[in-house]
Amino acid sequence: MKRISISTLLLFITSIAVFAQMEGKKPISQPLVSHIFTADPSAHVFKGKIYIYPSHDIESGAKEDDEGGHFDMKDYHILSMKKIGGKVKDHGVALDIKDVPWAGRQMWAPDAAYHNGTYYLYFPVKDKQDIFRIGVATSNKPQGPFKAEPEPMKGSYSIDPSVFKDTDGTYYMYFGGIWGGQLQRWDDNEYHANAALKKPEEVAYLPRIAKMNPDMKSFAEEVKEVQLLDENGKPFLEKNNDKRFFEAAWMHKYNGKYYFSYSTGDTHNLCYAIGDSPYGPFTYKGIVLKPVQGWTNHHSIIEIKGKWYLFYHDVQLSGKTHLRNVKVTELKYNPDGTIQTIEPYK
């Protein structure tokens, strides 16, 4: 008889609970595209047009495991639209894993940035030693195609790169994800292949940050931890898995404050915390988006013509956790700057 790990069993139970909770309810938004499966949408406005940089989900036949082996993506497709609710264009393959010299497998959630006439695509992929690193590719067009650098970014590791441009023009990269994202294998930027996940009473893992060099291809400093605190100024413990960081870091700025948002992973919330510096510390404030159908959620938050929008995904089209579809809905703030929690189904 095949042995099932505790984490796999918990994932199964949680997924069933989420689907049961959504049964009979209707989604508040529809998939942006249906001809391919997409997830983890990083949205940006470039040259007055909305560009979305998602993962491209496929059915590769890879075996499902605790580390997400069945999320076996092999390329990136970039989407664009002139306005929210407008026609969405798929620009085709922007970067293929076979064109990344150092890559082994699994092209996960990307992000993009623009600086001095060049567009940069940042992507996590396992190297040939099966360790997640972050790569960078460049193009003179926001939709690509992109050409990858011959090596991953020095000092990079784990998954979910997210690049934020501050109002002074400085760029920062946030990244990290536990479990399959391998963040638990890194301590003080040193790799430990056999590192175990945190126990419930231990302080939870923290996301990472590094300021970018002007070349946009390297870090200007040592990678640091991002301090994420509860309402009482205390760090979260691993057992606080409805609030602690799991993956999917995103940064945006609103009324002079820094909003760090992220996914709690196994409890399916998109949460946020607010700080006065891009480095933090960030104080937890609440939930941006409640759980969606599917195991993961991963998002981006941007302003378009005076309104704010949340891009996210669920599994409306397939019902399978690894075949997702990206969506968008409006995001609203309260007068005190807190975000109004969004219910994905009504």
The string of pLDDT tens digits covering residues 249-270 is 999 999 999 999 999 999 999 9
- Residue 66: its pLDDT value, please? 83
**CATH at residue 157:** 2.115.10.20
Q: Write down the pLDDT at residue 233.
A: 98
Per the structure, the complete domain to which residue 248 belongs is given by 6-331
User: Whole-angstrom Cα distance, residue 252 to residue 259?
Assistant: 5
- Tokens matching residue 243: 């609030």
Question: What parts of the chain have a pLDDT lower than 50?
Answer: 1-8
What proportion of the chain, given as a percentage, has pLDDT over 70? 93
344 within domain boundaries: no
Q: Which of 40, 72, 266, 314 is catalytic?
A: 40
What tens digit of pLDDT does each residue of 84-105 get? 999 999 999 999 999 999 999 9
Which residue among 57, 247, 266, 314 is the active-site one? 247
d(CA 107, CA 95): 10
The answer to whether the CB of 164 falls within 8 A of the CB of 113 is no
Whether residue 178 lies inside any domain: the answer is yes
- 268 in a domain, yes or no? yes
Residue 1 maps to a domain: no
Kindly state whether residue 346 falls inside one of the protein's structural domains: no
Q: Is 247 a catalytic residue?
A: yes
Catalytic residue at 215? Answer: no
Could you give the number of structural domains in the chain? 1
* Residue 192 within any structural domain of the chain: yes
Secondary structure of the chain as H, E, C letters: CCCCCHHHHHHHHHHHHHHHHHCCCCECCCCCCCCCEEEEEEEEEECCEEEEEEEEECCCCCCCCCCCCCCCCCEEEEEEECCCCCCCEEEEEEEEHHHCCCEEEEECCCEEEEECCEEEEEEEEEECCCCEEEEEEEECCCCCCCEECCCCCCCCCCCCCEEEECCCCCEEEEECCCHHHCHHHEECCEECCCCCCCCCCCECCCCEEEEECCCCCCECCCCEECCEECCCCCECECCCCCCCCCEEEEEEEECCEEEEEEECHHHCCEEEEEECCCCCCEEEEEEEECCCCCCCCCCEEEEECCEEEEEEEECCCCCCCCCCEEEEEEECECCCCCECCECCEC
> How many Cβ atoms sit within 10 Å of the Cβ of residue 241?
18
Task: Please give the model's pTM, rounded to 2 decimal places.
Answer: 0.94
337 found inside a domain? no
